[in-house]
Every structure is written in C-alpha cells, then in structure tokens.
C-alpha cells in the first residue's frame, strides 16, 4: 500500500433518474488507482444505472451530486471524451454493428483514443501487430477479429469481445456491467481471468454484478451493496461470500433500521 493514494474516481451524493424516475439517490464512492471495487445488489437497485451514468449515456439525467475523475468534472465530458480519457464500460448488452469488422472498429476506436493522447495513429498493419499481442495477453484466439462487431455473436462471444476491446483500449477506469451474466462456468473463467490479467497498479476496475462467482477470478478490494439507489453496506471481499450465502434481504433489513 502506497502512503498517499490518488483518488481516481470520486462520486459524491450522486442522484440520477431515467424518464423522470429517480434511480440513484445519493451515491458516495471513492475508487483509487490499483483497486477493484465490486458493486453488488438486488435487481433494480441501480447498479447498471450507475455504470451508464459513469459512461455518460444520454438517457440518464444526473439531478444532483458530482463525479470527479482524475480531478476533472466527469459530468462535463461527452461520452466519447470520457472514453478517450480512459473510462471504459463493458456493456451488459453489447450492440451489433453490421458490415464493420471488429478489427476495423477497434482500430478506429483506438486511433480516436491515441489521437486524443497525442500519439500517432496506427495503420492497419501496425494495429494487427498490437492486436495479436493483446489477444495473447488475454489468452484469446483471433476468431472474433474479422467478424462484424457483435453481429451474430453468442452471449459468451459478446462478453469476450468486450474484454478484448478493454485490452486494446487500455482504460484507466474499467466498469464491467454484469459481464458475468449469461456466461457458463468455462466462459466465466475465460472472461474474468482475462480481466484479472489486465489489472495494473495504475488502473482501477468497478465490477457490477449480482453474483459472487465472478469475484473468485477478480478479487475485489472493496465490496459495496447497493439498495434502492444508495450504497448501504461496504466491506472486504468476504462480504461478497456472505451475500452469496445469505442473500440481500438482511442487508435491506439492516439498512432500513
């Protein structure tokens, strides 16, 4: 543990709504570089909303509170600016783009990020080299790279593809929105294992999940329980196991006291 940690993400009293319906009702959360935070909670507690708000989805309105990311006001930034600054969301439901290969999509995205960082853009050949390296880093083959983005992908392939994008774009803050949902045990091991391989002291990961099992592969530093739009309980990795054993009702009961 370094003596002084730089807060990468600082969420203060965050309120957000969708279609006029309040979902987040005062979230406070600090995530430091090098940390993995798990956000758990029952259906409808606001987990995915938090992920979407962090990424800047236009359908979600922030009604109060602030989000600071690396000292900047995150809410001031457009979604693409957030992405270029290193915020990555692994989607729960990745979207298909017909006729555009994964490789082309990824190179366009990476070059947008590189341009923002003042780095030279990569030509297709340079990119293929980089892609090969990244695929190796996450123990993946190249079976997805020349297929159209998420078009006709199985659930497992979509999630694997999200992690491949994460490996290529090298985000500082990665938010995984129920990346474990819809995966069988083997696919979960592959996908979560890949995420774990991408951990570095200078990046942070927020894992949004219903279940403890993904945390067997990505050990969290902190586990938070979200209920009715607020974090009602935080603890170490053992909290996840306790939730797995006891469910969420007791947390809700305690929170209501």
Partner 1 sequence: MTTSIESQVLQPYKYGFVTDIESDNVPAGLNEDIIRLISARKGEPAFMLEWRLKAFRHWVTMTEPTWANVKYPPIDYQAIVYYAAPRQAKSLDSLEQVDPKLIETFEKLGIPLSEQKRLSGVAVDAVFDSVSVATTFKETLAQQGIIFCPFSEAVREHPALIEQYLGTVVPTNDNFFAALNSAVFTDGSFAYIPKGVRCPLELSTYFRINAAASGQFERTLIIADEGSYVSYLEGCSAPMRDANQLHAAVVELIALDDAQIKYSTVQNWYPGDEEGRGGIYNFVTKRGKCAGRNSKISWTQVETGSAITWKYPGCLLVGDHSIGEFYSVAVTNNRQQADTGTKMIHIGKNTRSTIVSKGISAGRGQNTYRGQVKILKGATGARNYSQCDSMLIGDQCGAHTFPYIDVRNSTAIMEHEASTSKIGEDQIFYCRQRGLSAEDATSMIVNGFCKEVFRELPMEFAVEAQRLLGISLEGSVG
Residues of this chain that bind partner 1 (CB under 8 A) = 55-59, 78-80, 82-84, 88-89, 91, 94-95, 97-100, 105, 108-110, 112-113, 116, 148, 165, 169
Nearer to partner 1, 127 or 248 (CB): 127
Nearest approach, Cβ of 225 to partner 1 (angstroms)?
26
**What secondary structure does DSSP assign to 49-94, as a single string?**
HHHHHHHT-TTEEEEEEEEEETTEEGGGS-HHHHHHTTEEEE-SSP
Nearest approach, Cβ of 148 to partner 1 (angstroms)?
7
- CA-atom Rg of the chain in angstroms: 18
Nearest approach, Cβ of 113 to partner 1 (angstroms)?
5
Nearer to partner 1, 164 or 222 (CB): 164
- Residue 179, Ramachandran bin (φ over 0: left; ψ between -120 and 50: alpha; else beta): alpha
**What secondary structure does DSSP assign to 205-221, as a single string?**
EEEEES-SGGGGTS--S
Nearer to partner 1, 94 or 156 (CB): 94
Q: How far apart are CA 86 and CA 155, in angstroms?
A: 25
Nearest approach, Cβ of 100 to partner 1 (angstroms)?
4
Nearer to partner 1, 101 or 181 (CB): 101
Nearest approach, Cβ of 121 to partner 1 (angstroms)?
12
Q: How far apart are CA 96 and CA 237, in angstroms?
A: 35
Contact 111, 121 (CB under 8 A): yes
Contact 144, 153 (CB under 8 A): yes
Nearer to partner 1, 109 or 128 (CB): 109
Nearer to partner 1, 108 or 146 (CB): 108
Q: How far apart are CA 19 and CA 177, in angstroms?
A: 21
Nearest approach, Cβ of 202 to partner 1 (angstroms)?
19
Of the candidates 208, 95, 93, 191, which has an alpha carbon nearest to the alpha carbon of residue 139?
A: 191
Nearer to partner 1, 4 or 59 (CB): 59
Q: How are strands ordered across the β-sheet holding 21-32?
A: 21-32, 7-18, 60-69, 72-73
Q: What pairs with residue 231 in β-bridges?
A: 226
Nearest approach, Cβ of 144 to partner 1 (angstroms)?
15
- 112: helix, strand or coil: helix
């Amino acid at each position: 543990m370094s003596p002084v940690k730089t807060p990468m993400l600082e969420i203060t009293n965050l309120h957000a709504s969708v279609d006029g319906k309040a979902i987040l009702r005062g979230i406070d959360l600090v995530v430091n570089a090098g940390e993995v935070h798990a956000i758990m909670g029952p259906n409808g507690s606001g987990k995915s909303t938090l992920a979407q708000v962090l990424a800047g989805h236009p359908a979600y309105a922030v009604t109060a509170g602030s989000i600071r990311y690396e000292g900047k006001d995150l809410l001031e930034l457009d979604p693409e600016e957030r992405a270029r600054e290193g915020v990555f969301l692994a989607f729960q439901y990745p979207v298909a783009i017909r006729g555009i290969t994964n490789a082309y999509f990824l190179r366009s995205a990476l070059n947008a990020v590189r341009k923002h960082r003042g780095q030279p853009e990569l030509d297709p050949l340079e990119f293929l080299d980089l892609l090969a390296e990244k695929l190796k880093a996450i123990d993946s083959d190249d079976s997805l790279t020349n297929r159209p983005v998420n078009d006709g992908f199985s659930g497992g392939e979509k999630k694997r593809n999200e992690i491949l994008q994460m490996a290529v774009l090298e985000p500082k803050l990665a938010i995984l929105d129920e990346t474990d949902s819809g995966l069988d045990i083997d696919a979960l091991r592959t996908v979560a294992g890949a995420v774990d391989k991408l951990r570095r002291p200078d990046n942070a990961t927020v894992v949004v999940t219903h279940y403890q099992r993904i945390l067997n592969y990505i050990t969290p530093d902190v586990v938070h329980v979200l209920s009715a739009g607020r974090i009602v309980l935080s603890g170490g990795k053992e909290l996840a196991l306790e939730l797995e054993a006891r469910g969420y009702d007791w947390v809700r009961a305690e929170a209501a006291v």
